[in-house]
Structure 1
Amino acid sequence: MDAGGVGGAGDGCFEKMETEEERTELLRDRFRLSVISIADAEAKKLGMQVAEPVVACIADLAFKFTEQLAKDVELFAYHAGRKSVNVKDVILSAHRNDHLTSLLRSFSQELRDKEPKTERKRKKSSEKGETSVPS
């Protein structure tokens, strides 16, 4: 089971895709190759072999789970009145798993701690030269 080369997101393939279905199929293929690569590496570490149908099943289940997770976090963001997903949505998606929620919160805090401490940028004033006065 050789995974071969998996192209990165910046290789231009997505811009060439005509339909959502084609993009999904490409993502599914790349996802499957990644799962095969991970399964092979883990099996090699343990001195085992994993049957191809088992790896294919794991890849399909994981992809379906990922699709559902993406829908969930999009809905969480929409419900919060945002147009994009953020860390809070990902943490909320793990609400049924206390341990995972705790890990995600810790990871989120680590990321925040690593961010450079800068002042927030002020919004640009309108084209008419209006200025906003802080209250």
Structure 2
Amino acid sequence: MATDRVVCGSSSEIGREQLQEHDSEAKILRDRFGLSAISIAESEASKSGMEISKVVVSCITDSAFKFTEGLAKDLQLFAQHANRKCVNMEDVILSAHRNEHMSRYLRTFSNDLKAKDPPSKRKRKKEAKNNDKITVSAHV
């Protein structure tokens, strides 16, 4: 078939290619994150009428990236522990349990999101589940 792709090479060569691709994607993400952190730091400094040195910006960027990597790993572990493949809001709130202020803020944010969610969507999901149960039990 013309659409089939044949992969040639040893498994170690294929593994190296995937690793290099992953490394290049990680570098792009790190660079984009860094640019955003630099922009935020410089913006906040200018709002305060201060200047910020490049060394300080570099330290802030590196620290923020390392914190974010750790947070992502924690969230992944929380989801895995709950036998889920996706991270949910409770995982995010749990990650902030050591910081009472942040935990409270995240709970408020979560509740606000739930309040904005139209009740009709939530009811339709529940009704669909109930209908499925009724249908299943009617066949038994």
Q: Which category of TM-score, normalised to the shorter sequence, fits these structures?
A: 0.7 to 0.9
Cα displacement (A) at 1:85: 0.2
Q: Which runs of 5+ in 1 are unaligned?
A: 1-17, 126-130
Which string of whole-angstrom CA distances, capped at 9 and with x for unpartnered residues, describes residues 6-32 of structure 1?
A: xxxxxxxxxxxx621111111110011
Distance 2:48 2:105 in 1: 26
1:49-128 map, 5 Å = 49-117=51-119, 118=121, 119-120=124-125, 121-122=128-129
Match of 2:30 in 1: 28
Deviation for aligned residue 1:122: 4.0
Larger radius of gyration: 2
Q: Distance in 2 between matches of 1:36 and 1:111?
A: 29
Over residues 36-58 of structure 1, what are the superposed CA-to-partner deviations in whole Å (9 max), with x where a residue is unaligned? 11111111111111001110111
Distance 2:93 2:82 in 1: 14
Cα RMSD of the aligned pairs, angstroms, is 1.8
AA partner of residue 52 (structure 2)? V
SS of structure 2 residue aligned to 1:132: helix
1:133 is displaced (CA, Å) by 2.8
How many residue pairs get matched? 111
Name 1:133's counterpart in structure 2. Answer: 137
State the Cα distance separating 1:84 from its structure 2 match. Answer: 0.4
Counterpart-to-counterpart distance in 1, 2:34 and 2:98: 27
CA distance in 1, matches of 2:48, 2:108: 30
- Compare relative contact order (CA 8 Å, sep 6+) and give the higher one, 1 or 2: 1
| Structure 2: distance between partners of 1:133 and 1:55 | 62
The code of the aligned residue for 1:115 comes to: D
| Greater helix fraction, Structure 1 or Structure 2 | 2
